[in-house]
Amino acid sequence: MAKQRALLTTTEREQLAGEHGDQRRYEATSRVRRRIKDELTTDIELLEKHHPGLLNELRDVVCESRGDRDSTDDV
């Protein structure tokens, strides 16, 4: 089975890591931010209503990944 993406494409991962220059990094940041605010919010609302167990799994992964960090790396 082919590997699927979650939030970022392979290219966006490279761009956010700075592998394609500052302009591409800025553009990728904007696209991902828009997905978080629009699409992810909609997905969370749907999971909350129709499949709370999956929403809990998502929360577990996101919260575990973040650990106790208080700041984010903004561009």
Q: What φ, ψ does residue 65 adopt, rounded to 5°?
A: -65, -35
Two tokens at 47?
A: 């999971």
pLDDT at 65 over 80: no
The domain spans of the chain are 10-66
- Do 65 and 57 contact (CB within 8 A), yes or no? no
pLDDT at 75 over 60: no
What is the rounded distance in angstroms from the CA atom of residue 58 to the CA atom of residue 49? 14
For the stretch 8-61, pLDDT in tens is 999 999 999 999 999 999 999 999 999 999 999 999 999 999 999 999 999 999
- Do 54 and 44 contact (CB within 8 A), yes or no? no
What pLDDT score does 64 carry?
86
What pLDDT score does 7 carry?
93
pTM here is 0.73
